[in-house]
Structure 1
Amino acid sequence: MNEYEEQAVSYIMEGKCEKVGFGSYRLGELNALDALYALSILNLLDINFKDESTVAYLKSLQNIYGSYSIIYSTFYGGIPTHENT
């Protein structure tokens, strides 16, 4: 992994919420889009990272066809936010 990839992974992991998900503001507040992007980037960088609670949360937001409601994909910063439970 090169220096930039290491920095990206470090930044992503700093945004990991305590119990579930990721948030870009480091406040421990889950943000669906941040979580989706974080897992996607870690996967693209071939990082062996498992977070079943975040995967379950994201799956709970999907419709029956596997896509997400327009409300989860149109707002910058991601909707919904969720208490870190």
Structure 2
Amino acid sequence: MNNLSIPAQTLQEAWEKGLQQGLTQVAVNMLREGIELDFIVKLTGLPLEVVKNLQTVDTDDDKILVKEFLEMSQSSLNKIWLDPEEDEAWKDL
């Protein structure tokens, strides 16, 4: 039978990565709420430069997310939208 356990080193690395991602998201949320940089650094333990970078990245990410959402919405609508002939055919059913 195969041993399906995950090595301790892999678990540790995954946990640390998850912790960093969580702290980064907390910092982003705090920035959105207008909390001061020094306070964010103190609470999250992230370096000041990282938090400053999150300010610009967060704005860029929001713009990218909105753009991707609009493109995806348009693409989805195009897939389900009936052309005029199909639309007329459904009215007769």
TM-score per shorter chain, which class?
under 0.3
Q: Which has the higher helix share?
A: 2
Q: Which has the higher strand share?
A: 1
| TM-score, reference length from structure 1 | 0.24
- Larger relative CO (CA 8 A, sep 6+): 1 or 2? 1
Q: Which structure has the greater CA radius of gyration?
A: 2
| TM-score, reference length from structure 2 | 0.23
